[in-house]
Each structure stands twice: as structure tokens, then as C-alpha cells.
Structure 1
């Protein structure tokens, strides 16, 4: 028996996946202003250059050891990244981020070189043992959503800060958010599921006037960064992002079909009906199935417990490839809770992934639907479509 695995986005994912190439494109767009005091753009830029593996960097004839979450650059490069006129202005930005405990840094080579470290880097990003997209201009890194709220609350947001804030809060094809089935919609997680927001609310969020909000959003719409859908009265507007799906998800390094314009991964899951060796990367004792009146164990006619275990193992492999390091830890626990019974054609489950030694956890929604299929011998058997919800990265 086979399964088809789909992993979909959900809105309470704690981190957002940011592609370095996207950030480099923004940095090259000189028409987007960076003058502001929220520091979101500056901090995210430093994160985009942080190392994923321990490696050596040779500068000015000297080799430096750079650990994960660290990087060494020339002061002139830093000033170019931050678009500051003078080098001391770029260094002052580092001073502020260090005072706020986001980074630490030191000057090398009589002040010509800067070595910075992202504090807490390995909590959100982990150096992997396999071929990971960690070059300086490609691949991705994870950025905590809570950090976005902290940084934009510090001061007035620049146009670049606003673009990044909108990008990080984009939601696509999530049942919890209205309109997300049409395209990537901006939703600031106010628990209403309604993406409508007024210019007054955006002005308060970004520390700017309502008129400035209108000017910036109109500018970004003319540059085809976003599309505004306005409503009459006091309801507000809905913001859709242009080129979001192709920018954030169409890369060859991850298990995503470039032909698909969604955040849904579709991966075949093969079970051991032919007595093949089972996948033992995750032990059975790591998988917990809630035992209640509507639990999975009470609904064995829908899908067998052994097949659920196989699907969970497949999910872990896919998420590990996406950089979710918890799925590589032997201590991680996978807890399933039934959200419906098996009387209908579909069965829904909640899957929580977490480590007992960490506060980090991930939640997914799984939907299993039996689909009749005929094999080569003409016999019919069932496969299941599995959907799990996941938010950005």
C-alpha cells in the first residue's frame, strides 16, 4: 500500500524561511529606501551572511576559523550592505544590535575587518551533515517571527523593513486565513483569520503616518512587489504578494516541484507490503497516538497504526531536508491526536513534533483520504492522501 504525502502551511509556525537570493535582490534595488530605525533589514542582512558550517575564510593573507552563525567581512563590505555613507555608521548599527543582544562582534586587522556572531543562531538554524544550500548567495536560513515584531517595534520602519515584514507574514493556501487559497496574502496573526487591515493599523505597526503607508504601498504595488485589494467603508485592504511562491519555494535543492505554485509538497510514501526492511530512523517509542474515544487507535479500519508510523517517518525526512533539525534528533517525540472519526471519507489528525529538552515544537494538520487504485495485476487497493499543515519558513 502506498501513500501520497502533502505538507501544507499553517499560520502558527514559529520561524520563516528566507532565501538568500531574495534578500540579495532586495539589497540591489536602490529604489527601496533603508532609512529607518527599526533595524529589521540590518539584522536580517547579517543573518543572511552567517555561516552554516565551520569553515576557514582567508582575508588579507590570513585564514580565519568561522563557526556556524558567524562571518567575517571587510568594514567596507558591511557599509555597502547597510547602504551607509561612512564606515563608522555601519559599525554604529552593529553597536546597537550588540547592545540589544542580537549579535556580538569584534574588530580585526586594525579595524579593517569585522567578525560578527548571531546570538542564538543554532536555536533556529543548525549546521547539517549532508549537502545543504549554505553558500553565501544561495540557499535559505530561518528567521524567528517573534524577532520581527521586536525589531519593528524599536522605531520607524524603512521601506525595506516594510517589505520584509510583509514577506515574512505572507500566508498561502491555509484554511485558517480567508483569501489565502487565491494567493499569498499578508496576515499578521491576530487570531481572526481575516487578512483585512487598515492603513491606520499599519501606520501604528510601522511607526509612520497613514499617508506614508499609502505612499509606500502604492510605490511597492507599482514596482510589482505586491497587489492591493481595497474595500469600501472602514473594512480595510487585503495585501497579496507578487512573485512570492516562485521566489520563496522554486529552488532545486529541496523536495519541491518547480511546476507547482504552492507550498504543498507531494511525496510518495511506500509501505512494506512486500516485506522490505522498515525505516528505523525513528523508533516506534518516539511516536505517540492519543488514546481516546476518537483516537487513531480506535479507528483502525481507516488506516493502520503501522502505516501511520511510516507516514510520520516520511514527514520527518521531508522536514529534516527543509532544515527542521528536530526531525534529526533521536529524542524528538511525535504526538498524534484525532480530530475526527472515520465515518466519512476523510480523517483528520493533529501532529505535534517536539523535543522534551527544548521549548521548540511544530504542529501540523494531517488529512487522510482513501483513493482506490488499480495495480498492474488488475487488483484494486487503496492509497491515502495525506495533508500536513506547515507555516513559513
Structure 2
């Protein structure tokens, strides 16, 4: 018997799963800077070392019993993990986290060893009741979302803090969040259901200037850690994470298409200013446009219909995968005089199955001459099937 598996991540879950191997890879990536004052990166590193069950470790001729949420190691090991030059910098971080009631620690072995404990470990993670060595480069642990908000509000976020904040707030395939069906999108749980954000909000969140936020996000994009989709005007930006699905769910990652995201969220779609230079979609021969006298050029309409078909295919509409399906477009109103162009889009099955009908609206936008003509707010409504 065959089963079809569908994965959904819930926004309301108060914890995020953090894989230890992911943190180890970040610790080794020297392209991402850690100089900041929010302590998020340091605390997550300490959590990645913590035991998830009781074990024993022998150091410098002494055997130490470690409970769940505890670990002991040379100070030099944390010094390397935190990317510090001196021991006192490690002690300063531990002291601050202890004052904030995140950890407790003690210095042992002639000031060469440090033993620390994550104070709320038993609250957020399941404790295994047997003794066995704990691997530090495999498995995962749960990290509370509230801790992220507390730590990033302490001080200026580093590039690593920003990446971790984005990663922990990623959502995939959740019906409550727009665009999450297209890929793992960053959503800061503001109860709007929209992942659209802007540099002003992010600058306030991370204690950075708008210019610095822009530079950091573009840098992370260039490192192939995320896909930044900026939109013109006041629409803001959307952030998708790369390699998220393979890390979190061990499934293939998806490619993010800007136009598909725009259609899903009713945001601008950019097409070349010259209609003749618009690329033809693969389904051009399947598209029928009933009205020849339309103010929107036919190549642009076919381009938009192609993007709509791609979007509906990602949402599981079977007809959009068929090379014999017909896309019948009928104009309901024109955009002359500043009105929207509203169309009836009908997807017809050649085998007599139920057809799907949508309402597609496109709004022209008058901007100063640029290299691109924008068609913002391409909205798609309906989806009712009829015989």
C-alpha cells in the first residue's frame, strides 16, 4: 500500500527544533560574523553542547557526572566556539547569562575547565532516564521562541544572531501564513498571516540601521543562505530560507520564484517594458484569450497566466500538470480609465472532468519611466470547480 505524506509546520508551536549539526556548521562558517551584543548565538551554542540524558565525562584525571542540560569542557573549547581570543571573554558571556537566569556555571580544574547548566532545559526538552554518552554533532533539541525575543532585545544583533532569528522563525506549509506553501518563509508571528516585512521593522528588531540590515540580508543572500525577494514601493520584502527543508525534514529543497510569490500575496509582478520581449510561458499554446481589444498586451497576459498556472500547480491543482488542459481567459472589465482589468480564468480538462474557474485581476501602475513596467496586485480569487 502506498501513502502520500504531507508535511505542515504549525505557527503556534512555542518551540523550534534546532539540529546540532546545523549549529556545528554555523560555528565553522567564518563568513558569518558573530560580533554583536544580543547573546543569542552564544546561548544556542551552549544549548547545543548540553546533555539530553545523564552521562559521565573524564577530564584531567577526574570523572564528572553530568545531568541532562549540563556539560563540562575546557574553557578553550568554548573560546573557539565563541570565536574569542581570551578566556575572560568566555567568562564574561557566562556571567551575563547567569545574571539573566539562563545558565549557571562553575570554574573547575585549576581554572581550565568550565561546567555549565541550562536552567530551563528540563522544561523545554524531554529527559531520558538512563545513562549513556551524548553525541554533540547529531540529534536536535527544542529551543523556546520566547528566548529568541528576549535575547535579541538585549543588544545589537550580529550577522549570526540575525541568521538564527530568521531560521527559528521560518514556517513551511502552514495554512495560516501566506506564501508558506511555496517554501520555508520567515514569519515573525505578528498574527497577520503575512510574511511581508521591511527594513525599518527589521532594523528596530535587530538594533541596526536600515542600511546595515540591507547589507547583511544581501550578504546572506549571496552566501546562498536565504532568498531575499524585495518588492518596489511600500510593499516590503519577503525572506525565504535555503537548505531549510533538507535540514529540518530531510527532503529536497525547493526553488523560489518571485512571480509565484507575488501572485500568492497579491504583490507586484515585473515584466519587461517592451511586450514583445516578454518570455512566452510553456503553456502558451494552451491559452485562449477571447477579447482581442484589451489594454493589457497579450504577451503580458499570457505571461501572467503562465505564472498563475505554476502557482496553482504548487498548490496541488492536477489540471495544471496536464499538457492538454486549456486556459480560457475572458475579460470582465478593462483597465481603461484607471480601473482594474478583471478576467474570468477557466481551466478546462480535455477528458471531461470538472473545470476550475478563477477571477484574475490586474491593476496598472503609473510610475516614472523605468526599465520595467509593473503590474501590482495580481489577485487570484475563486477556484470553484464546476461540471
Largest Rg, 1 or 2: 2
1:134 Cα deviation from its structure 2 partner: 4.7
Per-residue deviation, residues 333-390 of structure 1 (Å, max 9, x unmatched):
xxxxxxxxxxxxxxxxxxxxxxxxxxxxxxxxxxxxxxxxxxxxxxxxxxxxxxxxxx
User: Does 1:115 pair with 2:115?
Assistant: yes
Aligned to 2:14: 14
1:18 Cα deviation from its structure 2 partner: 0.2
User: Does 1:46 pair with 2:55?
Assistant: no
Q: Distance in 2 between matches of 1:143 and 1:118?
A: 11
Q: Matched residue of 1:8: which SS?
A: coil
Q: Matched residue of 2:72: which SS?
A: strand
1:184 Cα deviation from its structure 2 partner: 0.3
CA contact (8 A) 2:75 2:113 kept: yes
Q: Distance in 1 between matches of 2:185 and 2:5?
A: 24
Per-residue deviation, residues 279-301 of structure 1 (Å, max 9, x unmatched):
xxxxxxxxxxxxxxxxxxxxxxx
Aligned to 1:89: 89
1:31 Cα deviation from its structure 2 partner: 1.2
Aligned to 2:68: 68
Give the stretch that moved more between structures: 73-82 or 126-135. Answer: 126-135
Q: CA RMSD in A?
A: 2.3
Aligned to 1:246: 246
Q: Distance in 2 between matches of 1:259 and 1:219?
A: 24
Matched length = 255
1:18-37 correspondence to structure 2 within 5 Å: 18-37=18-37
Q: Matched residue of 2:234: which SS?
A: coil
Aligned to 1:138: 138
1:346-357 correspondence to structure 2 within 5 Å: none
Q: Matched residue of 1:201: which SS?
A: helix
CA contact (8 A) 1:171 1:187 kept: yes
1:249 Cα deviation from its structure 2 partner: 2.1
Aligned to 1:235: 235
* Bigger relative CO (Cα 8 Å, ≥ 6 apart): 1
Q: Distance in 2 between matches of 1:4 and 1:51?
A: 36
1:232 Cα deviation from its structure 2 partner: 1.1
CA contact (8 A) 1:133 1:139 kept: no
* 1:48–1:5 distance in 2 versus 1, CA, 3 Å: same
1:127 Cα deviation from its structure 2 partner: 2.0
Q: Matched residue of 2:47: which SS?
A: helix
Aligned to 1:55: 55
Aligned to 1:280: none
Per-residue deviation, residues 131-151 of structure 1 (Å, max 9, x unmatched):
999511100000000000000
TM-score by length of 2: 0.63
Per-residue deviation, residues 214-257 of structure 1 (Å, max 9, x unmatched):
0000000000000011111111000000000101222xxxxxxx
CA contact (8 A) 2:53 2:132 kept: no
User: Does 1:155 pair with 2:152?
Assistant: no
Per-residue deviation, residues 146-167 of structure 1 (Å, max 9, x unmatched):
0000000000000000000000
Q: Matched residue of 2:114: which SS?
A: strand
Q: Matched residue of 2:95: which SS?
A: helix
Q: Matched residue of 2:228: which SS?
A: strand
1:3 Cα deviation from its structure 2 partner: 9.3
CA contact (8 A) 1:133 1:140 kept: no
Q: Distance in 2 between matches of 1:18 and 1:56?
A: 24
1:59 Cα deviation from its structure 2 partner: 0.6
- Where has structure 1 moved over 4 Å in runs of 4 or more? 2-7, 129-134, 258-261
1:120 Cα deviation from its structure 2 partner: 1.0
Unaligned stretches of 5+ residues in structure 1: 251-257, 262-393
TM-score by length of 1: 0.62
Aligned to 1:219: 219
Aligned to 1:200: 200
* 1:85–1:259 distance in 2 versus 1, CA, 3 Å: closer
1:23 Cα deviation from its structure 2 partner: 0.5
CA contact (8 A) 2:54 2:131 kept: no
CA contact (8 A) 2:54 2:130 kept: no
Q: Distance in 2 between matches of 1:178 and 1:222?
A: 25
